[in-house]
Every structure is written in structure tokens, then in C-alpha cells.
Amino acid sequence: MKWKFMAKTVAMITALLGKTELPIDGEKKALNLSAEDRQKIVDALGPDLADQAINGIDQEIKNLAQNNLDLKAIQDEIAALVAESGLTAEELATNANDNADDGKPNPVETVRAITAKNKELAAMVAKLIQEPEGDSPLEVIGGKRGNMTHSATHLFGSGKSYDAFDGGRVWNARLRDGGIKATDFNKDGVIPTLQSDMAHFVEENSGVLNSLFNDFAELPKEWDMRSGVLDRVSDGYIIPAEIVQGRANGWSPKNKFKIAAEQGQVYRKKIDITFNGYQLQEIENTWIRSYNKEGSHPWKMSFIGFLLGELIKRQKLDDRMAQINGIFVQSPDGDDKPGAAVNSQNGLRYLWWYYRDVKKQYKAFDIGTPTESNIVDYINTMIKMIPEIERKEQGLEIQLSDKWYQAYVERAGILRPLVINNAADQGKSKYQLTSPIDYPNIKFQPLTDQTNTDFIGITQSNNIQVLEYNTAEKGKFTVTHEKRDTHIFADYRLGIRIKFVGTKLAENDPREFEVQKVWSNNVPVFGNDIFVPAFDDTSGILKITYPNIVVDQTWKTNISSIEGAVKGSIVKIKGNTGLAGEKNLVDGAGLDLTANFDLSTGGTITLFVKQDGTFKELSRTNAPEVAPTTDMNFTTAVLDVKGGTVFKFTGTADTTISNILNGVEGKTIRIYGTNTVDVELTVADVANVIDVATSAVLPDAVSYVDLTFVAGVWMETGRSITA
């Protein structure tokens, strides 16, 4: 703000308060001083002079505001004329420099410039009318789709080869003309053109593609990143023991030290995609339709960019999930044997499990499981169990599922209701900080893909490192064509690691060697439903890196030995009903089973790994696990169908249904009776609620009636009643 009368007073008060400018309340048009700032002015000037100074400044603020309003009205009118005339920023700047002492455009001169500009534009239009169409920037023709403009030879007038209309690029002409007929991607010459265009697009837009990869990564920005990792990487950490001692004659060295190193690895990944002509047409149609939407990104304008963009988005989702949930399994060689994305690498959760449960490289907190009522105290307990020096460090983060983060927010809002309580939240208190109560140096890091687990880990954000070999290699797609199929493939490397975990004490090691940089609770990192595939190498040996295994349906040999299990752990092996014939986990030679276990039944055998490395059977099932039933029991005449489709009556007296609640249009339910002696359930007409052909009396638990919710009424659509 440019002060006119109170400039010196303002300068003095600004310096007194240590500010670059005075705080102003725009709505009240007055100074917005805190009680502390006001007291500083009073202390320096005295009460009377301070009041005079503040009141004088307030009055000048009001005067300046009114003058600015009058001036702004004039400026707005001129600005509207400028916008209509198309005056450039350079022309306006010239007007300001040539016609005003203060460097601002003179209103009169601006109006004159608008008039001159209009004459210039009229002359240009007359010239263009007389000239033939070309491909220069001044000769761009209007497209037929919305606000898009194209040149005579290129989509969007870009001049790029992949945006050209010639060379068989029917897709570009289709977008220009709003054509309905899809491209025949099986036609000779189409795919070679597509292949060449993709190579040019990747070469010219490598920065765009790299940015796209990062945009869709969605991994925490606080994590470290390292490129150029060809295979593995490790950093060494020197941990010294006590070195200082009291002075005395003689030489008594005590400089023991230990070097620790954690190794990280990038995993070789590939993308193999095959499109037939119809699938490419569907992608082309989606590309055409995308221009009916607002806000399309510039890189999506070209068909090649759109095609690559869709592939990259899917890849980044797969990689993000693998970076968190991945458990590496080597895919078998050969064609048509695709491995799951989640098994393309070891992810962060696997590393927590491996360092805690396999290498036992850090001590976990044995504090039970979190609940919605104790989550705030639970997190607080974990933090307090971290050594004081480490828990006061900046940059710590708490990794947890979004479920437990939301539970913390809700519970903390109840315990600390002053954090937020406004009308927008309908009077509910909600904790808004991204750090735990009383620990502003620690950040919550909810992980989207960390689901179905109560595991919570704490470490420095920069202790987590994403590993890559070459970020550019992910954008280097290759296109080939075979008969009627189009193949797109790419190869790259990606991984994640915890840079430093901790050290275990060896015999006679000093206590200082026990260093820990990660902390967690001791609940399972993965849910019991997580199994990884095992592929047969025909050796008869089951090699495992994770204790829950399901054999692949191509398994061909009996299993006589298991390698890689952790002593004292539980191992579960699930069979597969898709096996070609009976294949057994064989009793004997280190496998203490009640009998051979037939893997083709699809059942699961549970083993305990003894300290001598042998396995003892704990239990087995002889069939695949049955999905939990969603059937719901009821006992009253009013049936609430929310959350279920099959309802079984378990009442102890004859009952007639009088109402059915929470119906959804088109939903079908099935209602069963009961086997209780002399107890019957009746489903009969109820005005505006139930409409059946005739009253249905269900005498037993196998009799049923089907009802479908149509236009607000449950109408009978089937029945089966024991005679």
C-alpha cells in the first residue's frame, strides 16, 4: 500500500513490530493488530500518542480504499475494452512506458491504442480472405469439434508427425471431422505407422511421460528416491561404542565399532500387452469421446499420447500397490504365464515383516491390538516407548492403514474438541492436525494400499527409499504387429527399501551396538488371507520366501521337502483343485504328517517349523475354503433387509411378516421358514408393502418365497413350499 499522509508513522510502527508491512483487516478497512502488537506500540509511544497514531492510520486506510474503488471502476471498464480488442501485453507495456510517469497505462492513450488495434485486425481479416489455405500459424482453420483448431495438414496445427492427417493416420482425420466410422487397425500399413508415431512421441515427449509417471505414483513425497540402481545397493553405517576414559599412564584402547548395512534391490519388470483391432477401436472411441469433456490435458491430445497415458496410469497403479504390498515370486519362463503385479517385487510391508519376523533385526512393541476406543492412547504408548532422543527427532512418520488413521482422527476429535467444531461438521468435533497429539515433529503417513491389517510402523520418512534404475526407461514402449494383433511391451526396474533397520547384539558386544531406527507393534503385518503362488521347478522341493503358499495349477510333482521356512513359524500350504491329477505333500524325511496331503483337493495344511528345521502338521482341510455366508436370521414380523439377500426365520412362535424395511429398487430377497415344531412363517399381502399371488405359509427351513422390490412394493417373483 502506498501511504500518502502517515508514511513516516507507518514506517516507524512497522520497524517497531519487526514486520515488513502492517496487517490490515480488508473487511473493516482498519489495522488488524494483535493484543501483543498493540501493547508494543503503547509501550513505545504512550497510550495517547499510540491511539492517535492507530486512529490516523485507520482513517487513511478508509480514504485509500474509497479512492481505489473509484479508480477500479474506471480501470474495469477499460480492461473490458482491452480484452475485446486483443491488445498484447507488450503493446500495453509500451503504452505504459511511453505515456505515463509512473509506468502505468494512461487511460486516454489506452483507448487510442484499442482503436488502432481494431483497425489492424480489420486489415488482417481482409488479407486472409484473399489468400489460399496454407499451414502457417496465421492460416489455421477451425475444427469441427468444440473449440479445437487444426491446420490443413495437422491435428491442432502442431506440425508433429504423429498429428498429421496423411500417411494413413485415419484416427486424426476422424477426430478433426467428428467421424463415426472407426479405424481399421488390421489394414496394411496402419500398425507400422502407429509404431513409428509412438517412437517419435516418446522421443519428443520424454519429459511429459516422466512427469506422468510421477503424477500417478501417489507414494509419499517425503520418501527418498534413488536412481541408477542396476541390481542392488547398500549403505554402510558405523556404530561406535564408548571411547572416552579417565586419564592414566599406559595405552588402553577401547575403540570398538560395528558396521551395519541394509541392502536394497530393484526388480526387473515388464509390460506385455496385446491388442486386437477391435480393442484398438474401443480405445480410439474413448479418445474421441474424451474431447466432450472439459479440462483435457495437452499431452492427451494426440492419439498416441492418449494410448500411452492409459497404459501408464494402469502401470502406476500396479506399481504403487506392489511398492507397498508386494511379495516377490519368480514368474515361470514361457509364453502365456503372466505373473501377478503384486508378486513382481518385495514391497514395504514385506520388508517390515522380513526384518521383524525373519531376521529379527529390531524389537517390536508387545502392546496388543488397537481398537477404535484406544487408538489415541495406543499411538501415544508406541511413541513413548521410542527412546527419548529418537522420538524428539524431526522427520518421523507413522505408517498405518487409512482405517486406523481415520479412527485416530475421530477419537482425537472427541478427546480434543477444541481443534475444530463448526457448522460445516454439524457440531461434530474432528481432529485436523496431521501429527499425533502433543508430537508435532511426527507425521501420520496413511498408506492407501495398506489394508486389512492392524500393523503400525514408525521410522524417519527419509529412511524409506524408492529405487529405480533409469526413470526414462519406463516410457520406452515398443510396438510390434503380428497377424491381427498389436503387441506393446516395455522393460524397467523398480524397488523399495528401508535404508537402516537396526542391529542385534552379538555375544560380548557393548550395549551401544544395539541401535534401532524402526519401531512397530507386533501384530501380523499381512492378513491371514494373503497367499503367494508357488511354481513347480520339478525338483520336488517347495522353496518359500513367505509362509502362506498356494500351489499353481500347473504343479506336476510330489513335494518331499520344504526350504526357506523360519524356525518357530507357522507355514500354510493351500492346494489347487485345478491340478491335472493327485499331487502330494509326502509324509516323512522332515515332514511329520498324519498322512500324505493331496494338494488336488484344494484344502489347506498347516505346519509348525520346529527348531531342528523339520515340520510338524497341526491341522488340515480336505476341500477349498467356503466363502462366509451372508445369510441373516430374524425373529420378528418386521424384516430389515439392509446388508443381506437371504433371510432365515428363527422365531419360536407363528409369525406373519407385517413390514419390510430398507428396500432398494430391483433388489431380490429370499425368505425361509424354520424347522421349529409347530412354528410357521407367513408371507401375505400387506397394503403398499407386500404383493404375493397367494399367502405363502412356510412350514420348514427349506420352504421359501422370493420377493423383488419394484416401485416401492415387494412383489413375489418365486416360491418353493414343501407340500
Dihedral angle of Cα 480, 482, 483, 485, to the nearest 10 degrees: -60
Task: Give the residue-averaged pLDDT of 158-178.
Answer: 80
Of 129-138, 319-328, 425-434, which has the strongest mean pLDDT?
319-328
Task: Give the residue-averaged pLDDT of 573-596.
Answer: 94
Distance CA 672, CA 651 (A): 12
Widest pairwise Cα distance in the chain? 109
DSSP label at residue 189: T
The pLDDT tens digits for 202-253 are: 556 555 555 444 444 578 889 988 887 777 776 655 444 444 555 666 655 5
How high is the pLDDT of residue 137? Answer: 34
How high is the pLDDT of residue 502? Answer: 82
Whether 532-620 and 632-720 share one fold: the answer is yes
How high is the pLDDT of residue 303? Answer: 74
How high is the pLDDT of residue 115? Answer: 61
How high is the pLDDT of residue 355? Answer: 93
How high is the pLDDT of residue 131? Answer: 47
Query: Which residue type occupies 419?
Result: V
pLDDT at 112 over 70: no
Distance CA 668, CA 93 (A): 71
Instruction: Identify the burial level of 606 via C-beta atoms within 10 angstroms of its C-beta, where 0-12 means exposed, 13-18 middle and 19 or more buried.
Output: middle
DSSP label at residue 140: P
Classify the phi-psi angles of 412: left when phi > 0, otherwise alpha if psi is within -120 to 50, otherwise beta: alpha
Q: Which three cell numbers stand for residue 48?
A: 495517547
Q: What are phi and psi of 640, to 5 degrees?
A: -100, 115
3-state secondary structure of 363: coil
3-state secondary structure of 375: helix
Of 55-64, 252-261, 385-394, 466-475, which has the strongest mean pLDDT?
385-394
Q: Which fold has domain 532-620?
A: Jelly Rolls (2.60.120)
| Pairwise pLDDT comparison (155 vs 329), residue with the higher score | 329
Reported confidence tier of residue 683, pLDDT bands at 50, 70, 90: very high
Task: Give the residue-averaged pLDDT of 683-701.
Answer: 94
Question: Positive or negative, the Cα torsion across 421, 427, 429, 434?
Answer: negative
How high is the pLDDT of residue 335? Answer: 53
How high is the pLDDT of residue 496? Answer: 93
How high is the pLDDT of residue 453? Answer: 94
Of 116-130, 475-489, 564-578, which has the strongest mean pLDDT?
564-578
How high is the pLDDT of residue 423? Answer: 45
Considering just the CA atoms, what is the radius of gyration of the chain in Å?
37
Contacts 24+ apart (CB under 8 A), 18-25: 22/57, 24/61
How high is the pLDDT of residue 30? Answer: 83
Structural domain boundaries of the chain?
Answer: 7-85, 92-130, 182-239+261-351+468-512, 352-467, 532-620, 632-720
3-state secondary structure of 266: coil
Q: What are phi and psi of 16, to 5 degrees?
A: -60, -40
**Cβ contacts of 462 within 8 Å, gap of 6 or more:** 222, 223, 224, 395, 499
How high is the pLDDT of residue 604? Answer: 96
CATH of domain 632-720: 2.60.120
DSSP codes of every residue in 503-534: -PPPTT--GGG--B-EEEB-S-SS-TT--EEE
The pLDDT tens digits for 607-630 are: 999 999 999 999 999 999 876 777
pLDDT at 713 over 90: yes
Distance CA 205, CA 91 (A): 33
Beta bridge partners of 647: 632, 671
**Model confidence, pTM:** 0.60
Pick from 203-212, 304-313, 619-628, 662-671: least confident: 203-212
Task: Give the residue-averaged pLDDT of 1-21.
Answer: 79
Reported confidence tier of residue 52, pLDDT bands at 50, 70, 90: confident
Task: Give the residue-averaged pLDDT of 330-359.
Answer: 84
Distance CA 145, CA 159 (A): 19
pLDDT at 128 over 60: no
Distance CA 114, CA 486 (A): 56
Element (H, E) at 550: strand 548-551
What distance, in Å, lies between the first and last C-alpha atoms of the chain? 92
**How many residues appear in the chain?**
723
3-state secondary structure of 586: coil
Reported confidence tier of residue 285, pLDDT bands at 50, 70, 90: confident
Reported confidence tier of residue 306, pLDDT bands at 50, 70, 90: confident
Reported confidence tier of residue 336, pLDDT bands at 50, 70, 90: low
Distance CA 465, CA 496 (A): 6
Question: Positive or negative, the Cα torsion across 423, 429, 433, 438?
Answer: positive
Distance CA 528, CA 543 (A): 20
pLDDT at 591 over 70: yes
Name the residue among 341, 338, 331 with its Cα closest to residue 537: 331
3-state secondary structure of 61: helix
The three-point CA angle 569-573-575 to 5° equals 175
Percent of the chain with pLDDT over 90: 39
**Cβ contacts of 143 within 8 Å, gap of 6 or more:** 149, 150, 176
CB 322 within 8 A of CB 341: yes
The pLDDT tens digits for 372-424 are: 999 999 999 999 999 998 899 999 999 999 999 999 998 998 887 654 445 45
How high is the pLDDT of residue 86? Answer: 55
Pairing between strand 478-482 and 485-498?
A: antiparallel
The pLDDT tens digits for 73-93 are: 555 555 655 555 555 555 555
Beta bridge partners of 269: 492
The chain-wide mean pLDDT, for the chain, equals 79
| Pairwise pLDDT comparison (524 vs 472), residue with the higher score | 524
How high is the pLDDT of residue 205? Answer: 59
pLDDT at 161 over 70: yes
Reported confidence tier of residue 530, pLDDT bands at 50, 70, 90: very high
pLDDT at 473 over 80: no
